Amino acid sequence: MELLYIAALCGLLIFMNFVGIRAQGQRSPLARALRQLMVMVTVTVAAGMLPVLMPSEAAALFVQCIHYAGTEWLLIFLLRFLEQYTEDVWSKKSAKIIIYSLAVVNSVSMLLNGAFHHIVTCRYTDIGNGVMCYVFMTQKPWYSLHLCFTYVLVACNLGVLIRQSVITTKFYRKKYSVALLMLVITVAMDGVCTIMDYPLDYSLYAYVILAIALTYYSIYYIPQGLITKTLSYVVADSSSGVVCFDVIGKCIYANEMAMSIYGNPSELSAMEPIFRKELGEKEFSNAKEGKWDREFILNGHTLYFDMNFSKLFDEQENYIGCYFILHDKTEDMEKLEREHYRSTHDILTGLFNREYFYECVKKRREMPDEEYYMTCTNIKDFKLINDLFGAEMGDAILIRLAEVMKEALPEGTICGRLESDHFAFCIRKELFQESALIDGINEVARMIPSSEYHILIHIGVYAVQRADYDAAVMCDRANIAIGTVKDSYDCMIAYYDESLMERVMSEKRLVSEFDSALADGQFVMFLQPQVSTAGTVLGAEALVRWMHPQRGMVSPGEFIKAFENAGLIYRLDQYIWDLAAQKLREWKDSGHEDLHISVNISAKDFYYLDIYRTFVDLVEKYDIPPKKLKLEITETALMMDLEKQLVLLDKLQSYGFNVEIDDFGSGYSSLNMLKDIHADVLKIDMGFLRKTQDNERAQIILRMIIELAKQLHMIVITEGVESKAQVDYLTETGCDMFQGFYFARPVAVPEFEQRYM
């Protein structure tokens, strides 16, 4: 009987230590605490069963005391283990010191029992059926002290576990409840054995089983279980769809996401044909692992997925199943699309931006057989529109123009906004419809609610002859075509031809020669007389001529625009103004101070110069009356920033200058502007008479303008008069002065002086 009892215990101890050694691999504090606990269990249990075998009473008492002391330490180590297991620091340092001190005192007391027998004594007695055994008799109060301490420790251990079981979530409760149950069983068995006073302590089994159970649960079962369970939650909760199939291809799992992607089928088995189709009707086990893109339409939204197919193998490389992961990359794709859109489109109009437009045109070159047009648009004085009507109106015009283009142009046309008001499109030649485009553009032009200002949009067309040209070159050519009509108020569309290119090149040459020409004095002032109705020369207009060493005399019509575009005109103008002022001074000194000279001020001069200061300095420098240096300003230059210009005019006039409105009637002219601008002279361009078919009507208008100017107390001068008839008619209508070939062409200054002075 005893032998069986001992053999069974030994067997359990060996098994426990075997399990413990396997846990050795784990370097965690938990595994360490567990091994320490096992050492204590081994010592305590061994000491508990050994008295049966002891040869003498003293030896039996000694091992029994070791058992008592061992029990206390075992419970302390159990507490330490639970501290790790629950990850809950179970007591303060002071409490630990008390517990350890008490255990040491008790242990010493146990060791002294051999001398004093104050804890336990024993007798070798027949316990029935002739079985001889040591029977122990405990002694008060020392044994009671041990018992109390032991129960306090048991209570601490139970307390820790109960507390954890209560405060933890259901998910983790199992982790503690199993340990709690084992401890309760052990304590109960110990209690039963003590009360029943069995000579053999069967509760020792419970100690060992407790240790084994704790090892199994703490090191293997619970962590593994928790991992599995946690993972299953992760998978179920994942934003990716997960579908698993077993070895025979039966769907065993599909998470919520996967089900929703496939319309929430009621049976998992519905997944099988779907995924077999994904693999091209192959068996899962034969299909190749891989990744591919998939699109789904859910509630009208397109969703983009990465579909991953992987197979599962056991340790022996046997196929055991497979799974699909559907990773939703819609957000990434949308972000990518947004970024791509932003990097390729103009945000304001939604058309392609310059870079992308060029890129698309470049791609079109790959179809060299197709004939197509590169077409560019330009809004005349777009800056002026922004200034006059606000940036919002400017934006609205751009947006509408883009819309109109999209509507008017057939599909397949590449449309882009190159910069500010410059749009471009590349269109198949046979699809290009000039009228549709012009209708659209006229609609945009009507957006400005002002009768005084009209938007002018010009279109330049380049018929692509060489497909290997860069898009930028094609656009340049379309823009060169625009250059030929950009000052025109009726001609909206212009086609590029090679002669234009020559003109551009020649302009470029002129610009490059400007500096040296100015320094060499190649620019000369010509004078064209301005004559009264009585035929008296009252003064002259200064008109520049370029005495070019190779080309001879070049007229301003050939270079003024180029210099304006190159930002050079202000230097030429300053030079001519100086010549004019200098001449006035000479005339003043020679007694001809009654003659005046009118000088031209380009619209661009207002950007570069302080006009007021420049002219004041000039008349002060040569000491001439400002009234004799007349200033010709075109209406367009005045309209650029009307309010500012009015202030400037006022200042100039207060100083004594006479201001003339030049070219009135040549551009778009508004009678309305006359009400704001208090100019001294209105210079009417005869050109607008020449252009019309209906001479009678034109004459009526001319007469009205002259009458109006007179009522506004302006002097009227008509330029471009070529015939006596014109002079007679204009004199009769009330015109004050004339300038024109009828009287004289512009001539060099010495000739002018010779003829008229």
For residue 142, the Cα-to-chain-centroid distance in whole angstroms is 80
Which position among 83, 346, 573, 662 is part of the footprint of Ca ion (CB under 5 A)?
662
Residue closer to ligand C2E, measured from CB, 609 or 721: 721
Q: 720 contacts which partner out of ligand C2E, Ca ion, none, CB within 5 to 8 A by kind?
A: ligand C2E
217 secondary structure, DSSP code: I
Strands (E), 109-200: 120-126, 132-138
Q: Give whichever of 426 and 721 is closer to ligand C2E, judged by the CB atom.
A: 721
The Cα-based distances of 200 to 49, 120, 163, 205, 657 in angstroms read 8, 16, 34, 11, 134
Q: Which of 629, 540, 626, 623 is nearest to 589 (CA)?
A: 623
Which of residues 183 and 652 has its CB atom nearest to Ca ion in the complex? 652
Residues 600-639 that bind Ca ion (CB under 5 A): 600, 632
Return the amino acid letter for 218. S
Which residue number, 475 or 543, has a Cβ lying nearer to ligand C2E? 543
Q: Smallest distance, Å, CB 648 to ligand C2E? A: 17
Q: Of ligand C2E, Ca ion, none, which one sits near residue 677, judging by CB under 5 to 8 A according to partner kind?
A: none
Number of residues near Ca ion (by CB under 5 A)? 4
CA 32 to chain centre: 54
Does residue 358 sit in helix, strand or coil?
helix
Q: Work out how close the CB of 600 gets to Ca ion at its nearest, in angstroms, rounded to a whole number.
A: 5
> Taking CB under 6 A as the criterion, which residues in 587-626 touch ligand C2E?
600, 602
* Minimum separation from the CB atom of position 561 to ligand C2E (A): 9
Residue pair 542/526 in contact (Cβ under 8 Å)? The answer is yes
Contacts with ligand C2E: how many residues (CB under 6 A)?
A: 22
Question: Cβ–Cβ contacts within 10 Å for residue 741, how many?
Answer: 12
Contact flags string 550-589 toward Ca ion, x per CB under 5 A: ----------------------------------------
- The residue (of 72 and 662) whose beta carbon lies closer to Ca ion is 662
Spatial separation of the C-alpha atoms in residues 175 and 214, rounded to whole Å: 10
From the CB of residue 101, how many other CB atoms can be counted at a distance below 10 Å?
A: 10
Kindly give, in sequence order, each residue whose CB lies less than 8 Å from that of residue 151, ignoring residues fewer than 6 positions away. none
Question: Least separation, in Å, of the C-beta of 695 and ligand C2E?
Answer: 17
CB-nearer residue toward ligand C2E: 140 or 745: 745
Going through 329-439 in order, the beta strands assigned E by DSSP cover: 372-379, 414-419, 422-428
Contacts of 745 (CB under 8 A, 6+ apart): 528
Report what 528 binds from Ca ion, ligand C2E, none; CB cut-off 5-8 Å by kind. ligand C2E
Neighbours of 465 (CB within 10 A): 11
- The CB-of-664 to Ca ion minimum distance in angstroms stands at 8
Q: What's the closest the beta carbon of residue 510 comes to Ca ion, in angstroms?
A: 21
* Contact by Cβ (8 Å): 483, 449: no
Nearer to ligand C2E, 218 or 602 (CB): 602
Q: What is the CA radius of gyration of the chain?
A: 54
Phi and psi torsions of 267, nearest 5°: -120, 140
Q: What is the closest distance, in whole angstroms, from the C-beta atom of residue 525 to ligand C2E in the complex?
A: 7
Closest CA to 324 of 274, 360, 366: 274
**293, 342, 360, 362, 404 from 349: Cα distances, Å:** 33, 12, 17, 22, 11
Question: Binding segment for Ca ion among 193-201, 550-558, 560-568, 655-663 (CB under 5 A)?
Answer: 655-663
Min dist CB 545 to ligand C2E, Å, is 7
Q: Which does 440 bind (CB under 5 to 8 A by kind): Ca ion, ligand C2E, none?
A: none
What's the start-to-end Cα distance of the chain, in Å? 157
**Partner interacting with residue 556 (select from ligand C2E, Ca ion, none; CB below 5-8 Å by kind):** ligand C2E
Q: How far is CA 710 from the centre of its chain?
A: 62
Pick one of ligand C2E, Ca ion, none as the site partner of residue 573 (Cβ within 5 to 8 A by kind). Answer: ligand C2E
Q: Please name which of 109, 160, 181 lies closest in space to residue 138, comparing C-alpha atoms.
A: 109
Q: Which is nearer to ligand C2E, 223 or 556 (CB)?
A: 556
Of 103 and 603, which CB lies nearer to ligand C2E in the complex structure?
Answer: 603
Within residues 301-320, the interface with ligand C2E by CB under 6 A covers none
Q: Using the Cα atoms of residue 162, residue 167, residue 170 and residue 172 in order, give the sign of their dihedral.
A: negative
CB of 363 vs ligand C2E, minimal distance in Å: 45
Q: Cβ contacts of residue 539 below 8 Å, gap of 6+?
A: 529, 530, 595, 596, 597, 598, 628, 630
Q: How far is CA 464 from CA 412, 430, 473, 600, 653, in A?
A: 17, 13, 10, 40, 53
* SS3 sequence of 657-708: CCEEEEEECCCCCCCCHHHHCCCCEEEEECHHHHHCCCHHHHHHHHHHHHHH
Residue 689 CB, nearest distance to Ca ion (Å)? 14
User: Least distance in Å: CB of 757 to ligand C2E?
Assistant: 20
The residues in 548-567 that bind ligand C2E, with binding defined as CB under 6 A, are 555-557, 560
CB closer to ligand C2E out of 102 and 540: 540
Spell out the residues 6+ positions from residue 24 whose beta carbon is closer than 8 angstroms to its own: 31, 35
Beta-sheet pairing, 290-298 with 301-313 = antiparallel
Does residue 529 touch ligand C2E according to CB under 6 A? no
Among 421, 476, 573, 635, the residue binding ligand C2E under the rule CB under 6 A is 573
Q: Which residues lie below 8 Å from residue 236, measured CB to CB, with a gap of 6+?
A: 255, 256
- Both structure tokens of 549: 């060493």
Contact partner at residue 591 from Ca ion, ligand C2E, none, CB < 5 to 8 Å by partner kind: none
- How near is the Cβ of 365 to ligand C2E at its closest, in Å? 42
Which among ligand C2E, Ca ion, none contacts residue 215 (Cβ within 5 to 8 A by kind)? Answer: none
Cα separation, 204 vs 465, in Å, equals: 104
Provide the minimum distance between the beta carbon of 742 and ligand C2E in the complex, in angstroms, as a whole number.
6
Give the contact letters, 716-755, x = binds to ligand C2E (CB under 6 A), - = no: ---xxxx----------------xxx----x---------
Nearer to ligand C2E, 67 or 604 (CB): 604
Interaction residues for ligand C2E, span 33-92 (CB under 6 A) = none
- Pick the closest to residue 530 from 623, 599, 601 (CA basis): 599
- CB of 525 closer than 8 Å to CB of 535: no
CB-wise, 388 or 601, nearer to Ca ion? 601
The two most distant CA atoms of the chain are separated, in Å, by: 169
Nearer to ligand C2E, 241 or 483 (CB): 483
Token pair listed for 612: 């007021």
Binders of ligand C2E among residues 654 to 713 (CB under 6 A) are: 662-663
Q: Name beta bridge partners: 325.
A: 242, 308
Nearer to ligand C2E, 452 or 564 (CB): 564
Side-chain-facing half-sphere of 754: CA atoms under 13 Å: 5
Out of Ca ion, ligand C2E, none, which partner does residue 648 contact, by CB within 5 to 8 A per kind?
none
Q: What minimum distance in Å lies between the beta carbon of 368 and Ca ion?
A: 49
Nearer to ligand C2E, 328 or 632 (CB): 632
557 binds, among Ca ion, ligand C2E, none (CB under 5 to 8 A by kind): ligand C2E
- Which residue of 190, 421, 663, 680 would you call a contact of Ca ion, by CB under 5 A? 663
For residues 532 to 551, the per-residue mask of contacts with ligand C2E, x marking binding by CB under 6 A and - elsewhere, is -----------xx-------
* Cα-based angle 141, 142, 148 (whole degrees, multiple of 5): 85
Residues that bind ligand C2E (CB under 6 A): 528, 543-544, 555-557, 560, 569, 573, 576, 600, 602, 662-663, 719-722, 739-741, 746
Residues that bind Ca ion (CB under 5 A): 600, 632, 662-663
